[in-house]
Structure 1
Amino acid sequence: MTSAMEAGLATGGLVASVGVGLVFLQAGLAKVRHRELVPGVVANYRLLPDAAVAPFAAALPFVELGLAVALLAGLRVAAPVAAAMLVLFALAMEINIRRGRSHIDCGCGRSQLRQPLSRLLIGRNLVLAALLAPRLLPAPSPTLATLALAAAGGTVLFVLYLLFNGLAALSASPLSASRR
């Protein structure tokens, strides 16, 4: 692999780290803000024993916030953990879709835009997880210019994520269905 390609992958990994870090930050803050709703969202997935729902729901926002901080700080160890969480969330959605339970809210952190489960959301999570893959490769220490580019690119990635979520939620809304 050429050094230009390695530098590009390293920068792409940093962009993803910032973008996905902002996704986890937004999701964790939303869950903290609406912590009384989180146990219900977790229980709706019907994947955990009843006794595990409350502890999982209490810990999840702080795990997401911790991952957000680690990703935004550029800690490489956070990338595989974040990718694994995104894949697990996608798997939980897929299990419920296969059970015929696509009507439940994904719990993605946007309470004002309820999002029923869909394969688009599964794909979104898998793409975000895949974008973190370059963080698993060895890379040189980033320059100040690379860090600035990563911050800008990661912010753009996060805005695209918000746009995708907004459009997905609106397309699933009753108003959208009545216009078809």
Structure 2
Amino acid sequence: MNRNAAGRASVVAAIMVGVGALASGLINFLFVLANVASLPRLLILQDPIGFALRPRVQPMAVVAMLVAMVVLVGLTWLFVRMIVRSALPGRAAAVFFGTWGAVIVAAWIAGVVRAPLMLMVLQIPAEQSEILMTQFSQISTAGATWGLMWGWLTALVVALVHRSTNAGPAPYPTTTSPPATYPPAPQPPAAG
């Protein structure tokens, strides 16, 4: 696959993941404001970046959100670029599942990077190590859960972009001609 098509697919994936993460965080925050119970809210819509653009928020929470967003978008761009560049033309299913897995892994890594920063915001005492570990686990796996539930949308679009950039003329000519010989075959002597 040419590099331009891989670049286009990876940029599309990075933009979709970034917009999707911000939208998920904002919608999740609005559900909290509307007093929606946490069970249906968290089953449907995880917050992969810890949406922190709200009133009276601590600055470290905003830093954690921005770091998670940069890691999520950057790793998604990198992983999808590698997947699409290595995929053969016509292998949209491989691009789909590879991209979906890339979104899951990138979101999980973003959660692992965000978790220590959020634990600083929560200020849980070190004596309560069980609560610390539970919070770390919940924060770090929220991104992976979001990638599992919503990453298929990005994967579908990337697979369609991959397929459309490879939809060109047939690889072989439709007319058949005898193969050229090199060097040209000697001509029989002329009678005369």
> Which has the higher relative contact order, 1 or 2, with Cα contacts under 8 A spaced 6 or more apart?
1
The TM-score bracket by the shorter chain reads: 0.3 to 0.5
TM-score in terms of structure 1 length? 0.38
Tell which structure's C-alpha radius of gyration is larger: 2
TM-score, normalised by the number of residues in structure 2: 0.36
